[in-house]
């Protein structure tokens, strides 16, 4: 079996003391590719350096996280656009809307997201979208900018079956991580309802670890735990979960089919 972790912040400080060991564990667990989301200009150099150091395993994205959108958002967009001319990336992200922590810059978040829609369309790249307490506005923007022929994944999909259907019809996958193992998680109902062909596996490490690792640092070697829960929910072999979700990631991110062998 082969897996792809489609969302891991392997470059963050939480991994500085044992990054080599963490990546060795994920490879031992047959998680052969790690897709690495950007946050903003302050962490971007480290993210790109870590991806270069582990270039056979880690593939970078470029983007601006919604919680990084403040009064200097125009400068952040300029820096992002400059980086797009210098570095190859696998997706635009992590981008989106986040109304959980602070609603001060909601309008600016929308402006920055729309600019990233345009960048993704221009470079023919998928989007990796973050949504927290903001899904209705995101659905509206996806509909409004459908003419850009956007595609991507809703990371840690936060919605219900009807919202998932809208996004799937719009060309997006559902990112499923450790939350699916939590008691009473609505994500489990979504997983049960939709075919595997619409699902990607992710950890969001070091955040949101699956049961039985809650309260500890998350890492990519736990992807098989998430896959096992999905297999249990859907009453199918874990090998099927691994094969289909890996193929989904290869297709969305335009990866070589041999990259995960």
* Residues 58, 203: Cα–Cα separation, whole Å: 14
pLDDT tens sequence across 142-153: 999 999 999 999
Residues 71-80 have a mean pLDDT of 97
pLDDT of residue 261: 61
CA distances from 101 to 45, 69, 104, 131, 157 (A): 25, 12, 9, 12, 18
Task: Give φ, ψ of 206 to 5 degrees.
Answer: -90, 10
CA quadruple 229, 233, 238, 239: dihedral positive or negative?
Answer: negative
pTM, full prediction: 0.97
Tokens standing for residue 200 = 């990607």
Model pLDDT, residue 246: 97
Helix or strand holding residue 115 (H, E): helix 106-123
Both tokens assigned to 23 = 């990546």
Taking only the tens place, the pLDDT of each residue in 223-259 is 999 999 999 999 999 999 999 999 999 999 999 877 6
The residue ranking higher by pLDDT, 184 or 196, is: 196
Q: Is the pLDDT of residue 260 over 70?
A: no
199 pLDDT band, cuts 50/70/90, is very high
Instruction: Give residue 185's pLDDT.
Output: 85
Sheet order of strands, 3-5 included: 3-5, 31-36, 58-60
- In sequence order, what E strands does the chain have? 3-5, 31-36, 58-60, 92-98, 127-132, 152-154, 172-176, 199-201
The answer on pLDDT for 101 being more than 90 is no
- CATH fold group of domain 3-260: TIM Barrel (3.20.20)
Residue 154: CB atoms within 10 Å: 27
DSSP state of 209: P
Average pLDDT, the chain: 96
Please state the domain extents for the chain.
3-260
Residue among 109, 175, 164, 172 at smallest CA distance from 146? 172
């Amino acid at each position: 079996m082969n897996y792809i972790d489609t969302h891991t912040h392997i470059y963050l400080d939480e991994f500085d003391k044992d990054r080599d060991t963490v990546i060795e564990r994920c490879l031992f667990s047959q998680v052969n590719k790690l897709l690495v989301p950007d946050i903003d200009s302050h962490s971007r150099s480290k993210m790109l350096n870590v991806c270069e150091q582990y270039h056979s395993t880690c593939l970078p994205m470029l983007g601006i996280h919604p919680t990084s959108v403040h009064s200097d958002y125009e400068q952040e967009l300029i820096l992002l656009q400059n980086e797009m001319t210098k570095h190859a990336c696998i997706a635009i992200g992590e981008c989106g809307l986040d109304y959980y922590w602070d609603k001060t810059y909601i309008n600016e978040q929308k402006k920055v997201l729309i600019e990233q829609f345009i960048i993704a369309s221009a470079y023919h790249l998928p989007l990796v979208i973050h949504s927290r307490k903001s899904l209705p506005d995101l659905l509206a923007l996806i509909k409004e900018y459908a003419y850009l022929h956007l595609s991507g994944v809703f990371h840690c999909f936060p919605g219900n079956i009807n919202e998932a259907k809208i996004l799937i019809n719009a060309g997006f996958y559902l990112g499923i991580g450790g939350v699916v193992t939590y008691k009473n998680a609505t994500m489990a109902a979504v997983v049960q309802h939709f075919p595997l062909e619409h699902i990607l596996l992710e950890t969001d490490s070091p955040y949101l670890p699956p049961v039985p690792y809650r309260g500890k640092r998350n890492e990519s070697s736990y992807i098989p735990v998430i896959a096992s829960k999905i297999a249990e929910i859907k009453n199918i072999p874990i090998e099927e979960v691994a094969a289909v979700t890996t193929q989904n990631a290869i297709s969305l991110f335009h990866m070589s089919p041999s990259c995960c062998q």
